Amino acid sequence: MKAFIALEDGTIFKGISFGASGERLGEVVFNTSMTGYQEIMTDPSYKGQIVAMTYPLIGNYGINQYDAESSGPKIEGFIIKENSKIASNFRSEKSLGQYLKENNIIGIENVDTRSLTLHIRTKGAMKGIISTIDLNPKSLIKKAKDSPGLIGRDLVKEVTCKKTYKAEGTIRKNLQLKTYSLKLKKVIAMDFGIKYNILRCLMDVGCDVTVVPGDTKAKDILAENPDGIFLSNGPGDPAAVTYAIEEIKKLLGKKPIFGICLGHQLLGLALGGKTYKLKFGHRGANHPVKDLKTGKIDITSQNHGFCVDMNSLNQDEVELTHINLNDDTLEGMRHKRFPVFSVQYHPEASPGPHDSRYLFKRFVEMME
């Protein structure tokens, strides 16, 4: 079945559908990872986005129930060069095409993904539409132009949990992970679109994690008297999540705080900084980040389209700890007086580099 991708600037790409049929709107972005397509599709940070994979062959190891990063796919659509006809892996339970159809996600293959990626790098990530039912370029371009963008849009409310839950009872049990006999630290994780592997990593370093909705009040979090507070990743424009920013301000200095990705951006805003949209974002498993204190360089996994403006932070209060070596953007910070730190990248990424897993231990040490 033929399928079209239309961008708001009038560019059209053609392909063949291999997932669900229909039509989806979203911001078209690219990811440079060679593996991890299931983790990417199920990462809530991709809500509102149509993801194009730069690696040419996708789907070769299939899909299984254990590698999901959330309850199901959160992407709006999936674009690849070639869908593997064979899913060969002892853990594989179904093909990529089956998975997309079951979850009503449009997948498009036979796309010139090199051309699409170069276009996004040159012009920037932009609104787009993918369709298997409307193949009229003019109609599709108009729909893309008229669609809502990500700036000013709160997508956290669409992916956060509806009620509080214990990570131990949901993640570890369902995924049959072993239990660690450590003295547990009580952690409240604010869910702005949290990934399962973040919860695993926190538990693996001895945290008893309770996950709360992203709009939970600071007074209710502090009433639980946690040892620490975690601010999760998530989708969309951080400046639009005003309710979370206001509550994070009330938590500063009260308990140790660790933030990742959107949690890092929300923390930056709570500290008086500003955020801005990157031209085409950072998405992939190969981004070099430098620790400004040690000079060590980590290869990191990333997924974000917004960034904290390092020049907007009060550097008498906030120390910049990490920068991205590709474009010198801010990748990490810590407060000089309060036990608070955050990173823009994903130390929990799996599959992906494990260079930054030590950050979870650092959080535990801060709580101690």
Domain 2-146, CATH: 3.50.30.20
**Does 361 have pLDDT greater than 90?**
yes
Distance in angstroms (rounded) separating the CA atoms of residues 105 and 73: 8
**Active-site residue, 261 included:** yes
Q: Is 253 exposed, middle or buried (0-12, 13-18, 19+ CB in 10 A)?
A: exposed
**Does 171 have pLDDT greater than 80?**
no
Q: Please state the φ and ψ torsions of residue 333, each to the nearest 5 degrees.
A: -155, 165
Instruction: Answer for the pair 236, 157: CB distance below 8 angstroms, yes or no.
Output: no
Query: Which residue's entry shows tokens 């009040």?
Result: 217
pLDDT average, residue stretch 328-350? 96
pLDDT average, residue stretch 12-24? 97
pLDDT average, residue stretch 53-64? 97
Using one digit for the tens of pLDDT, what is the confidence trace for 191-205?
Answer: 999 999 999 999 999
β partners of residue 284:
302
Identify the pLDDT of residue 351: 79
Using one digit for the tens of pLDDT, what is the confidence trace for 217-254?
Answer: 999 999 999 999 999 999 999 999 999 999 999 999 99
CA 53 and chain centroid, separation: 15
Distance in angstroms (rounded) separating the CA atoms of residues 245 and 70: 24
Strand residue runs (E) in 182-317: 185-191, 207-213, 228-231, 257-260, 275-291, 297-308
Q: Could you tell me which of 230, 242, 146 has the C-alpha nearest to residue 188?
A: 230
What percent of the chain has a predicted confidence (pLDDT) above 90? 93
Distance in angstroms (rounded) separating the CA atoms of residues 230 and 209: 9
Query: Pick the catalytic residue: 27, 69, 331, 348?
Result: 348
Identify the pLDDT of residue 350: 80
Helix-strand-coil split of the chain, %, nearest 5: 25, 30, 40
Count of C-beta atoms within a 10 Å radius of residue 51: 23
Enclosing H/E stretch for 205: none
Distance in angstroms (rounded) separating the CA atoms of residues 263 and 234: 8
**Active-site residue, 346 included:** yes
Q: Where are the domains of the chain?
A: 2-146, 156-367
Two tokens, residue 233: 């990743």
CA 132 and chain centroid, separation: 27
Using one digit for the tens of pLDDT, what is the confidence trace for 8-17?
Answer: 999 999 999 9
Identify the pLDDT of residue 181: 45
**Does 175 have pLDDT greater than 80?**
no
Torsion, Cα 28 30 34 37, to 10 degrees, reads: -30
Identify the pLDDT of residue 130: 98
Query: Pick the catalytic residue: 282, 304, 322, 346?
Result: 346
The length of the chain, given as a count of residues: 368
Per-residue confidence band for 176, with pLDDT thresholds at 50, 70 and 90? very low
Q: What is the pTM of this model?
A: 0.95
Identify the pLDDT of residue 172: 59
Q: Which of 179-183, 211-215, 271-275 has the lowest mean pLDDT?
A: 179-183
**Does 178 have pLDDT greater than 60?**
no
Count of C-beta atoms within a 10 Å radius of residue 180: 12
CATH superfamily of 156-367: Class I glutamine amidotransferase (GATase) domain (3.40.50.880)
Enclosing H/E stretch for 140: helix 137-146
Identify the pLDDT of residue 182: 55
Using one digit for the tens of pLDDT, what is the confidence trace for 133-154?
Answer: 999 999 999 999 999 999 999 9
Query: Pick the catalytic residue: 161, 207, 261, 307?
Result: 261
Averaged pLDDT score across all residues of the chain: 95
